[in-house]
């Protein structure tokens, strides 16, 4: 049953025990804190003790225009928000906080007063789980990172839960959607077919992961792209090879070889059984699935005799510090936390026994400090990054470049936080100058491709198209295998397309090919859109009107949806049907249809005449009526 919470003229329904009647007023904060807990109990949220709970406050309020019940700590930090998101007088979102930040949310999306979605936020991760039968267990992941996928696999081993493992394993339907060549698809299908039968035996027999085992860290080299056309593949496929999950069991570190992970939409999927690494085992016989590299399991500073006592102590301190991260208040204490974490990461790097592992820890240090600086929590972290960069000069060029780029990003973020509107142009120009210097100093760094792309986009947005095309061309020439190269090549095609016939096609949600050549004799608008883009939705209303007025004269629209998942598009169109064909391919703004014309921002619309030539590569909806009157006679 549910309890009715009366808030002014609103009635909000909330979880409660059976048999409780509807109160005339809100319960106490203390009562609410006891009764309302996340469905997934392992999430780390603020849980006040009895004395503090008695001093907490509960009140009705508006949140983004929606009615909600809020619970605050004595210090005023949000602890809980129960929100009527759809405005029907019933709570459909139960939000939980840690140190004032939302870290977890139960969601009732179908209005039956039972949670059917679960989301994690901020430093709790980015998972988004769907619970079809509303029994409190995730049925499938709508979004899950590679790191979180490896953690789910460790948890499945610890719990001997084959269903949990299969939720992050590649399904036959997902394998088909990857568009791999026939031979690769067949070999993977054979491997995947045995996972359900083999995992329970593995979980029972292995001795590395037990009930007390916790996931600590994700280890892998950078992900790569298997480009379309490789061995007959139809799509680009993003891949992590030789992934290792680092674990902790009562203070003893271990490893679980995850192997290859592939990206499907906004999720990462396993394609093989995990291999818990026994003590003294140094390699796995199986090589990379796509890149065909020797797999050699990363030792992470753990030689055959085990990690040194000093390293074990440092790793344990890092784990303990990270577990307390959510309890650190804003202000000086937060800065001190980041300083302590940076000290530990540098200490672990110094104790690493291989150059590869030392580089991995130093990169993690750079990522951690840069993110903290950009968040405004650790402004003095810039000094730390400067010192780290100075220590790497002339010793490790690849790591030096990696740290340098993170330092530039941190400096830019910090200056933007502290700049007035008048200083914005100056700070942005300095950022562009720094990107140019970085590209010159580190011409072979993978980050240089991103630096060049940022420069090209800045010139394009400023109307300096020749300079933009020059940078786009450099990316394609110097980093031909990078994801930025595909976007850059497409951007050049788009910038040069006016007056030319373009080849454009994509896959519809039903799997059919939508080809621009089939629209010869008609004027076409190609509209790139996403359900999260409000201006795109506004344009659709105008496009519908134009389709009615000019449709009989030969005007057509092709929609190119850039939502992360097909379901997001379908959900929107179910409520807002459109009378024209749609294209959707996985990848969102990095999907093939977006990359082939270098689409950076939404909304973007391209106007094509009856002969297939581009008339306007960035037409505004307000211009379309006059453009159509010129083209359609």
Mean pLDDT, the chain, rounded, equals 85
Contacts of 452 (CB under 8 A, 6+ apart): 435, 439, 471, 474, 475, 478, 479, 484, 488
For 505-631, CATH number? 3.40.30.10
> Could you tell me the pLDDT band of residue 252, with boundaries at 50, 70 and 90?
confident
CA–CA separation, 15 vs 94, rounded Å?
Answer: 9
CA–CA separation, 584 vs 559, rounded Å?
Answer: 9
Running DSSP on this structure, what letter comes out for residue 354? Answer: S
**What would the pLDDT profile of 454-470 be if each residue is shown by its tens digit?**
899 988 988 899 999 99
Token pair 């939404």: residue: 602
Residue pair 125/113 in contact (Cβ under 8 Å)? The answer is no
Output the six-digit token pair for 607.
């106007």
Residue pair 66/87 in contact (Cβ under 8 Å)? The answer is yes
- What is the Rg, in whole angstroms, of the alpha carbon atoms belonging to the chain? 27
Residue pair 370/385 in contact (Cβ under 8 Å)? The answer is yes
Q: Where are the domains of the chain?
A: 2-141, 144-276, 309-495, 505-631
Q: How many CB atoms lie within 10 A of CB 200?
A: 13
Nearest 10 degrees: CA dihedral of 318, 323, 325, 328? -110
Token pair 């939302």: residue: 102
Per-residue pLDDT averaged across 548-567, rounded? 92
Q: How many CB atoms lie within 10 A of CB 287?
A: 13
The residue among 416 and 502 whose pLDDT is bigger is 502
> Could you tell me the pLDDT band of residue 204, with boundaries at 50, 70 and 90?
confident
- Tally DSSP H helices, then E strands, for the chain: 20, 23
168 φ/ψ angles, rounded to the nearest 5 degrees: -115, 10
Q: Classify 617 in phi/psi space as left (phi over 0), alpha (psi -120 to 50) or beta.
A: alpha
Question: Exposed/middle/buried for 390, CB within 10 Å: 0-12, 13-18, 19+?
Answer: exposed
How high is the pLDDT of residue 254? 85
Q: Give the closest residue to 216 by CA, choosing from 347, 318, 104.
A: 318
Q: Of 243-252, 573-582, 601-610, where does mean pLDDT reach its minimum?
A: 243-252
Work out the widest C-alpha separation in the chain, in whole angstroms.
Answer: 82
**What would the pLDDT profile of 391-418 be if each residue is shown by its tens digit?**
998 888 899 999 999 999 888 888 877 7
Residue pair 514/506 in contact (Cβ under 8 Å)? The answer is yes
CA–CA separation, 244 vs 260, rounded Å?
Answer: 10
Residue pair 119/105 in contact (Cβ under 8 Å)? The answer is yes
Is 332 strand, coil or helix?
helix
Residue 557 confidence (pLDDT) above 90: yes
Class of domain 309-495: mainly alpha
**What would the pLDDT profile of 63-88 be if each residue is shown by its tens digit?**
888 889 999 999 889 999 999 988 88
Pairing state between β 523-529 and 555-561: parallel
Residue 595 confidence (pLDDT) above 60: yes
Residue pair 139/119 in contact (Cβ under 8 Å)? The answer is no
Is 267 strand, coil or helix?
strand
How high is the pLDDT of residue 228? 84
Q: How many CB atoms lie within 10 A of CB 279?
A: 12
pTM confidence score: 0.52
CA–CA separation, 28 vs 59, rounded Å?
Answer: 9
CA–CA separation, 110 vs 557, rounded Å?
Answer: 32
How many Cα neighbours within 13 Å face the side chain of 588?
16
How high is the pLDDT of residue 113? 83
CA–CA separation, 117 vs 73, rounded Å?
Answer: 27
Q: How many CB atoms lie within 10 A of CB 548?
A: 11
Token pair 């290792």: residue: 244
Contacts of 391 (CB under 8 A, 6+ apart): none
Per-residue pLDDT averaged across 554-562, rounded? 95
87 φ/ψ angles, rounded to the nearest 5 degrees: 70, 25
The reply to whether omega before 603 is within 30° of 0 (cis) is: yes
Token pair 């430093």: residue: 123
How many Cα neighbours within 13 Å face the side chain of 116?
10
């Amino acid at each position: 049953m549910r309890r009715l919470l009366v808030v002014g003229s609103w009635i909000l329904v909330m979880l409660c025990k059976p048999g409780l009647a509807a109160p005339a007023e809100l319960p106490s904060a203390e009562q609410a804190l006891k009764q309302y807990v996340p469905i997934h109990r392992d999430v780390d949220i603020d849980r006040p003790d009895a004395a503090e709970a008695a001093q907490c406050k509960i009140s009705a309020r508006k949140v983004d225009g929606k009615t909600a019940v809020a619970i605050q700590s004595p210090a005023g930090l949000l602890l809980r928000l129960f929100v009527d998101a759809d405005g029907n007088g019933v709570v459909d979102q139960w939000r939980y906080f840690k140190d004032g930040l939302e870290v977890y949310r139960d969601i009732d999306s179908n209005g039956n007063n039972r949670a059917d979605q679960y989301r994690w936020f901020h430093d709790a991760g980015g998972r988004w789980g769907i619970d079809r039968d509303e029994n409190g267990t995730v049925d499938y992941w709508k979004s899950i990172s590679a790191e979180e996928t490896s953690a789910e696999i460790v948890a499945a081993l610890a719990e001997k839960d084959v269903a949990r493992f299969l939720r992050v394993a590649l399904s036959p339907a997902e394998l088909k959607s990857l568009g791999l060549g026939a031979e690769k698809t067949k070999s993977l299908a054979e491997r995947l077919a045995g996972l359900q039968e083999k995992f329970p035996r593995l979980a029972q027999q292995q001795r590395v992961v037990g009930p007390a085992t916790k996931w600590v860290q994700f280890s892998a080299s950078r992900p790569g792209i298997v480009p379309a056309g490789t061995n007959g593949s139809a799509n680009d496929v993003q891949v992590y090879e030789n992934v290792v999950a680092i674990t902790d069991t009562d203070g003893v570190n271990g490893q679980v070889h995850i192997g290859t992970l592939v990206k499907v939409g906004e999720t990462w999927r396993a394609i093989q059984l995990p291999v818990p690494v026994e003590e003294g085992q140094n390699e796995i016989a199986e090589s990379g699935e796509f890149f065909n590299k020797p797999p050699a399991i990363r030792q992470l500073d753990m030689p055959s005799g085990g990690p040194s006592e000093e390293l074990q102590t440092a790793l344990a301190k890092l784990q303990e510090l990270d577990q307390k991260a959510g309890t650190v208040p804003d202000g000086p204490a937060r800065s001190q936390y980041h300083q302590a974490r940076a000290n530990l990461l540098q200490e672990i790097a110094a104790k690493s026994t291989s150059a590869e592992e030392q580089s991995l820890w130093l990169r993690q240090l750079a990522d951690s400090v840069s993110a903290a600086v950009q968040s405004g929590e650790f402004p003095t972290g810039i000094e730390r990054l400067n010192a780290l960069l100075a220590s790497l000069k002339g010793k490790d060029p690849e790591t030096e470049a990696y740290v340098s780029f993170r330092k530039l990003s941190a400096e830019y973020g910090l200056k933007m936080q502290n700049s007035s509107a008048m200083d914005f142009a100056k700070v942005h120009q300095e950022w562009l100058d720094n990107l140019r210097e970085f590209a010159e100093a580190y011409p072979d760094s993978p980050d240089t491709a991103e630096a060049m792309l940022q420069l090209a986009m800045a010139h394009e947005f400023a109307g300096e198209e020749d300079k933009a095309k020059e940078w786009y061309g450099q990316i394609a020439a110097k980093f031909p295998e990078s994801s930025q190269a595909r976007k850059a090549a497409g951007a050049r095609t788009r910038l040069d397309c006016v007056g030319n016939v373009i080849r454009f096609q994509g896959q519809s949600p039903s799997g059919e090919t939508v080809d621009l050549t089939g629209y010869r004799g008609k004027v076409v608008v190609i509209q790139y859109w996403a359900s999260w883009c409000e201006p795109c939705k506004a344009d659709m209303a105008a496009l519908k009107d134009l389709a009615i007025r000019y449709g009989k004269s030969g005007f057509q629209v092709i929609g190119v949806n850039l939502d992360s998942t097909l379901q997001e598009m379908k959900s929107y169109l179910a409520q807002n049907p459109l009378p024209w064909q749609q294209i959707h391919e996985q990848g969102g703004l990095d999907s093939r249809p977006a990359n082939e014309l270098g689409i950076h921002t939404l909304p973007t619309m391209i106007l094509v005449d009856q002969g297939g030539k581009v008339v306007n590569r960035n037409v505004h909806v307000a211009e379309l009526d006059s453009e159509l009157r010129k083209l359609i006679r």
